[in-house]
């Protein structure tokens, strides 16, 4: 190798600056145009909470940035495989050490461009995480979610709208009723092992830990009914620990509330269920 090639020339600096600028522009456009796009990517799932769109937007941002590098890498990879296949028996390969500066640039430049994309991505993910998990908007209603082997118990506020006040709270097993466009706080507890409270349509997931009360929030925005799954292995009945969330419009919700109050499921009744009998009955056909 001649000595002159070891010294980075002006061309390589220009090349680097141009590609870096393109990459920064690419990352910024992704951040401003792809990230705010709230269309869902999650096949077949509605966006039923206020932050479902944020998480889906972040998914789009990552797909855009990472997808670009993925496609570039695979295309170059397969092109090289095709281009440099052995065509004649005496074909000789080139001798490239990769130790010289102008050669290393083929690694270091893409690597710095990857960092630029990573930074754009970190902004997005910090924003979404802060909004969903760190920030707690004031509650309009509060529910208590208790995981046990192998059922969910949901404690809804009664007609007074207050949890743990009076004895009008409504306890239901595997059934959660919510009013649309209401900011809910949930108090997540567990009586035995770890569970994970997951409503895919809301994009919410939080493990419940015995001995702790974990507070989180969501705001249902779409009337309908959706699945609740347990997302943390919790024993034999883990796969059967399914619930259903019903998001009601305002008037429907008050009707449901009235009906529940008349039928009067009491805490004592549900605690018998809480021993897991429901889940066990469900396992035996």
Q: Which 185-214 residues touch another protein, going by CB under 8 A? A: 192-194, 196, 198, 200-201, 203-212, 214
Nearer to another protein, 125 or 265 (CB): 125
Contact between 49 and 220 under an 8 Å Cβ cutoff? The reply is yes
Does residue number 182 form part of the binding site for another protein (CB under 8 A)?
no
Note the Cα 235 to chain centre separation in Å: 24
Task: Give the one residue of 122, 249, 272, 275 binding another protein; rule: CB under 8 A.
Answer: 122
CA distance 86 to 186: 63
Site for another protein in 35-54 (CB under 8 A): 41-45, 54
Nearer to another protein, 28 or 96 (CB): 96
Nearer to another protein, 30 or 230 (CB): 230
CA distance 83 to 95: 16
Nearer to another protein, 172 or 199 (CB): 199
Nearer to another protein, 146 or 149 (CB): 149
Does residue number 218 form part of the binding site for another protein (CB under 8 A)?
no
Nearer to another protein, 158 or 237 (CB): 237
| Sign for the pseudo-dihedral over CA of 127, 132, 133, 137 | positive
3-state secondary structure of 153: strand
Using CB under 8 A as the criterion, what x/- string covers residues 12-31 for binding another protein?
--------------------
Q: Which stretch in 26-34, 81-89, 245-253, 255-263 sits in contact with another protein by CB under 8 A?
A: 81-89
CA distance 28 to 119: 10
The H or E element that residue 122 is part of is: helix 101-129
Does residue number 259 form part of the binding site for another protein (CB under 8 A)?
no
Site for another protein in 152-181 (CB under 8 A): none
Nearer to another protein, 178 or 204 (CB): 204
Site for another protein in 219-238 (CB under 8 A): 226-227, 229-238
- Strands (E) across 20-76 are located at none
Angle separating helix axes 52-83 and 101-129, nearest 10 degrees: 160
Does residue number 110 form part of the binding site for another protein (CB under 8 A)?
yes
Who contacts 139 (Cβ-Cβ below 8 Å, separation ≥6)?
A: 183, 184, 185, 217
Residue 51 C-beta: closest distance to another protein, Å: 9
The H or E element that residue 102 is part of is: helix 101-129
β-pairing, 184-190 with 141-148? parallel
């Amino acid at each position: 190798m001649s000595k002159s090639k070891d010294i980075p020339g002006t061309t390589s600096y220009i090349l680097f600056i141009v590609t870096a600028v393109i990459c920064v522009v690419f990352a910024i456009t992704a951040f401003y145009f792809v990230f705010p796009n709230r269309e869902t990517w999650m096949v077949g799932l509605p966006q039923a909470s206020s932050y479902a769109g944020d998480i889906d937007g972040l998914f789009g941002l990552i797909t855009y940035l990472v997808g670009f590098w993925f496609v570039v890498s695979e295309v170059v990879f397969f092109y090289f495989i095709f281009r440099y296949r052995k065509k004649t028996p005496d074909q000789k390969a080139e001798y490239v050490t990769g130790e010289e500066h102008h050669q290393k640039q083929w690694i270091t430049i893409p690597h710095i461009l990857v960092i630029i994309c990573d930074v754009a991505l970190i902004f997005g993910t910090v924003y979404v995480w802060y909004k969903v998990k760190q920030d707690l908007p004031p509650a309009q209603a509060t529910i208590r979610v208790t995981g046990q082997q192998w059922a969910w118990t949901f404690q809804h506020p009664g007609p007074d709208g207050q949890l743990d006040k009076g004895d009008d709270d409504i306890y239901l097993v595997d059934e959660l009723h919510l009013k649309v466009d209401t900011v809910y706080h949930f108090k997540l507890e567990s009586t035995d092992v770890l569970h994970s409270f997951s409503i895919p349509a809301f994009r919410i997931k939080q493990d419940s830990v015995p001995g702790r009360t974990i507070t989180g929030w969501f705001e249902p925005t779409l009337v309908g009914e959706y699945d609740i799954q347990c997302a943390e292995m919790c024993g034999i009945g883990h796969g059967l620990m399914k619930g259903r969330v019903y998001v009601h419009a305002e008037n429907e919700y008050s009707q449901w509330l009235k009906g529940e109050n008349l039928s009067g499921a009491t805490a004592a009744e549900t605690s018998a269920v809480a021993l897991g009998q429901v889940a066990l009955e469900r396992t035996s056909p």
